[in-house]
Structure 1
Amino acid sequence: MIDPATLPSLPASVARPAYDRSKVKAGIAHLSVGNFHRAHQAVYIDRVLALPGHEGWGILGIGLMDVEGERAKARALQGQGGLYSLVAYPPEGTPEVSVVGAIVEYLHAPADPEAVLKRLADPAIRIVTLTVTEGGYNIDETGTFKLDDPAVAKDLAGGLPATSFGVMTEALRRRRDAGTKPFTVMSCDNLRHNGGVVKNALLSYARAKDPALAAWIEAEVTFPSCMVDRITPAVGPADRERLNAETGLDDASPIFAEDFIQWVVEDKFCDGRPELEKVGVEFTDAVDAYEQVKLRMLNASHSMMSFPGILLGHRIVHLAMQDPDVDALLEQFLSRDAGPLLDAPPSMSVGQYKDLLLSRYRNPAIGDQLLRIASDGASKLPQFVQDTAREVVQRGGDGRRIAFLLACFTEYLRGVDDRGDSFPVVEPMVTEADRALAAKPDLREGLGLGAFKGWGVAEHEGFASDYARYRASIQEKGAGATLKDLLAAVAAG
């Protein structure tokens, strides 16, 4: 078993924390400790803790959801003193195995909500980060925080809060009342202008709870934006057994990821920060430019791969990329649709970034799941594809690939692929009204789905016609044949 006592006896092939963990205290709290956080932010913090004078920047992990998976994660990480193994796979060559020690405390909020609030009110916690997924910010298509969400409404009604924004607001209230400096709040989710999104959500909740507190938060708290990047698959029981067999470790909560990693951060911290620039983090005032390239190329092409790929019967990323039609679709989308519309930072080449993305997707060691990438597509598509779709239509460009993507998403909601196999559809933001629209005989009405509101494509005759035609073709002869027809039409000019 991995725990602090067994660290010295780990195999020589396993990298371990290059610092004395017994001296590390938590200065960062992270809400919702998923695999991505453990493979990304926690890795950078693990590196920075090895720098002199950084013992106060460990991570307090906080699980928010009251589900068995989160309870099991809490038991595993608490039982191992926050330690876990990470295997980083390059496209070729030998994977690197390390034990990450940055998480020095772990609390499961549903088990003891008061303990979480007490720790977040502690002056030692100077930054709160979060990865609550794109849909976890309760923002509707108009940019309004949904105060009528049942969990939010319950928090606003009183008692100890359970939602991320309720918890942060109550912790900040306690800090204000105690004369303690506030903490910085930083979203690490894949959202456009994620600093502004989390600020909007937190202030909206706080205003509904206590307008005076909201005014204090707005004046005192900073909300830096950031861009995060590392492909990190889910880990099932078979993956856990495989990883432990490969590493020779007995880890209750191992993870794996690609070897690529990137973090670009806006330098706006109200109570200090670790010297992350010394361990590979890039600080810049131009996060938006990096963010747009990443969201509109990597995340958007993930969507362009996943919804058609699932309908074609694929389930694993690198296997989908072995399908020449899927590979061609992504190449065309990145080269002809997304890439030309981007104003990349001076240090980035859009063409080279495209080639890097396709190489990363083809990495057979990662085995990322298309169903994981596709989940909550109704929240992801507006973040990743909307801007490109709107600009393509406004400029009179070729919208066929994007129309095909939206058609595939709408047909994906049926949960059946070209082979007749069923698959789970995880779409918490798709309403019954959305499903009714998707089932209408007039196939164009699917463009009225909440996920597509405000895109400006439903009003464009050519785009709406393509969308309806692709839906009809998918229903009649399958997504694979429809994609072949699309690629042949593009090739013919």
Structure 2
Amino acid sequence: MKNKILQFGSGVFLRGFWGWMVNELNKNENFDASITMVKLTPRGDLSQFKETSGLYSLSTKGLLNGEVIDTNEEIDIYQRFIHPYPEWVEFLLTAEEEDLQIVVSNSTEAGIVYKQCLFPNECPETYPAKLCAWLYKRFVHFDQSSDKAPLILPMELIESNGDKLQEIIIKHANDWGLDHNFITWVQKDCDFRNTLVDRIVTKGDKNDACVEPYHLFAIEGEEAEEILPLKKAGVNVFWTKNLPAFRETKVRMLNGGHTSMIYAAILSGETIVADALEKLEIDQFLRSILLDEVLPTLEAKGGDKQELTDYAEAVIERFKNPFLNHEMINIALNSASKLLVRILPSFNDSTKLNKKYPEKLSKAIAAFFWFYRGSVEGDTFKGESEGLTYEFADDAKAMSAIAKCDTSSAANFAKAILACSAWKGAFNKHPDFEATLTKILEEFEEKGLKASLFPNT
């Protein structure tokens, strides 16, 4: 195999997501590529990978198109392991390799940062500084050749990850007084892409990984299948000119789906996500939110209805994964801020689109508020509903503000909770939602949570 890929990061996500993709390329497209793994932090070493010569087992467990998937395979695409702190020179020498075409990374959300430093004679602290030094070495060695400028795919879960990485590298180049032609090469020839990655990956024994069948890799810009034929290899990749739409879809459907359903489900006596969705009424509640209320708002922004439908169905299927013991109370941790990001944008857009409040999202918001009735003890929120007691952690300031809301009647609670400072005035644009919320809360009191939320049960 040819060493075509330089990977910054040794975490399990890259093995379960990217390592698996490269293995699929080798199997299905004769890609003939190996990966050089570069450690990002000074602590620890890479001996665990060297001991197995990079070989690891990947287990795929979950549902795919309604069928249970439970498979194992051995993956052998990591061929070299470099710890740049003691092996700085060896690390830089990889920049001289003819076949190297692609750079990937997963340095966590905090990894793409600028930290001023001198031109490195030894390994610098941050990932962008490491990459800048490596790119400069390659630029010099290959005499500024545009053909040797790599495709760079950061997989950190931050917006505009490729743009931000490029900006920091240019800043380092200016700090270090590097050749202006190098900066032009970084800007014009190096192909930095913004990306979005999506797959649940958990750690197995030693270097092994366990993944769900679902995966998505969205890459902004024109297709680069001649360099990286992911689509041809059968990988669920989208080369797109509208990455923000993918991000918005994920946040509103995947994250928003979780947040919309769990409070209604918990208050109905459920504890595990997959188990809850075995109940027809909860499954239908979530489907109605995603397909009838969220999807049209995304379609109105130019999204493809069939693609959005497929994604929504995939989200529901992922939630039903029988191999994931996903406790809903854990998802409820630190949720005060999630209402603003995951649910309200869809609620706002649906209201504007249909000139009325969306029924299921309104009930989801009401269940969210009802869940937050209770008291604060230290850093813990304690709630109670219909004999069910629960506690969880959240932002102290938000918890304190919510706990002060008047719960003496549905009307008083609706008025107080909508005006609560935790929502940063988000409901001010919907002054008449108070009446709608009051009616839902009164139904909670009169009929009980389950009968009100799921009237057909």
> TM-score when scaled to structure 2?
0.68
CA displacement at 1:278 relative to structure 2: 2.4
Counterpart position of 1:131: 106
The equivalences for 1:285-324 within 5 A come to 285-286=240-241, 288=243, 292-304=248-260, 316-322=272-278
Measure, in 2, the Cα distance between the counterparts of 1:486 and 1:394.
29
Measure, in 2, the Cα distance between the counterparts of 1:109 and 1:389.
48
Q: Which has the higher strand share?
A: 2
The equivalences for 1:93-492 within 5 A come to 93=68, 95-108=70-83, 112=87, 115-119=90-94, 122-133=97-108, 135-136=109-110, 152-153=114-115, 160-178=123-141, 179=143, 181-189=148-156, 197-211=160-174, 212=180, 214-232=183-201, 234-235=202-203, 240=204, 252-266=206-220, 268=222, 273-281=227-235, 282=237, 284-286=239-241, 288=243, 292-304=248-260, 316-322=272-278, 327=283, 329-343=285-299, 346=304, 348-368=306-326, 387-392=345-350, 394-395=352-353, 397-398=357-358, 400=362, 403=365, 414-415=379-380, 418=383, 435-436=396-397, 438-440=399-401, 441=404, 444-448=420-424, 457=426, 459-462=428-431, 485=449, 488=452
Distance 1:482-1:307 versus aligned 2 partners, 3 A rule: farther
CA displacement at 1:414 relative to structure 2: 4.5
Measure, in 2, the Cα distance between the counterparts of 1:156 and 1:378.
42
- For the residue of structure 1 that corresponds to 2:306, the secondary structure is coil
1:58 to 26, 34, 44: 34
Measure, in 1, the Cα distance between the counterparts of 2:264 and 2:98.
49
CA displacement at 1:273 relative to structure 2: 1.5
CA displacement at 1:300 relative to structure 2: 2.9
Counterpart position of 1:87: 59
Write the deviation string for residues 43-79 of structure 1: whole angstroms up to 9, x where unpaired.
Answer: 2210212357632x32223342456xxx48x443232
Distance 1:226-1:306 versus aligned 2 partners, 3 A rule: farther
Counterpart position of 1:43: 20
Measure, in 1, the Cα distance between the counterparts of 2:190 and 2:16.
27
CA displacement at 1:334 relative to structure 2: 0.9
Distance 1:43-1:53 versus aligned 2 partners, 3 A rule: closer
Write the deviation string for residues 326-347 of structure 1: whole angstroms up to 9, x where unpaired.
Answer: 6455334313432111237658
CA displacement at 1:99 relative to structure 2: 0.7
CA displacement at 1:161 relative to structure 2: 2.6
Does the aligned pair in 1 maintain the 2:84–2:91 contact within 8 Å? yes
Measure, in 1, the Cα distance between the counterparts of 2:446 and 2:118.
49
Distance 1:346-1:447 versus aligned 2 partners, 3 A rule: closer
- The alignment covers a number of residue pairs equal to 409
Measure, in 1, the Cα distance between the counterparts of 2:335 and 2:8.
22
Measure, in 2, the Cα distance between the counterparts of 1:157 and 1:307.
52
CA displacement at 1:352 relative to structure 2: 4.6
Write the deviation string for residues 257-286 of structure 1: whole angstroms up to 9, x where unpaired.
Answer: 233344454564889623323211345445
Measure, in 1, the Cα distance between the counterparts of 2:446 and 2:164.
40
CA displacement at 1:80 relative to structure 2: 1.4
Give me the CA root mean square deviation: 4.9
> TM-score when scaled to structure 1?
0.64
Q: Considering Cα pairs closer than 8 Å and 6+ residues apart, tell me whether 1 or 2 has the greater RCO.
A: 1
Counterpart position of 1:429: none
Distance 1:218-1:131 versus aligned 2 partners, 3 A rule: same
Q: Which amino acid aligns with 1:260?
A: Y
Write the deviation string for residues 93-142 of structure 1: whole angstroms up to 9, x where unpaired.
Answer: 56221011222233455665565454356454321223345x4366xxxx
The answer for unaligned runs of 5 or more in structure 1 is 1-23, 139-146, 241-250, 426-433, 449-455, 474-479
Residue 26 in 1 paired to residue 38 in 2?
A: no
- For the residue of structure 2 that corresponds to 1:106, the secondary structure is strand
- For the residue of structure 2 that corresponds to 1:348, the secondary structure is helix
Measure, in 1, the Cα distance between the counterparts of 2:27 and 2:257.
36
Measure, in 2, the Cα distance between the counterparts of 1:312 and 1:63.
46
Measure, in 2, the Cα distance between the counterparts of 1:78 and 1:381.
45
Write the deviation string for residues 355-409 of structure 1: whole angstroms up to 9, x where unpaired.
Answer: 3422332121243566887789799888765753552465453363574697679
Measure, in 2, the Cα distance between the counterparts of 1:352 and 1:276.
20
Distance 1:276-1:328 versus aligned 2 partners, 3 A rule: closer
Measure, in 2, the Cα distance between the counterparts of 1:378 and 1:175.
47
- Of all paired residues, the percent bearing the same amino acid is 17
Distance 1:424-1:87 versus aligned 2 partners, 3 A rule: farther
Measure, in 2, the Cα distance between the counterparts of 1:186 and 1:483.
53
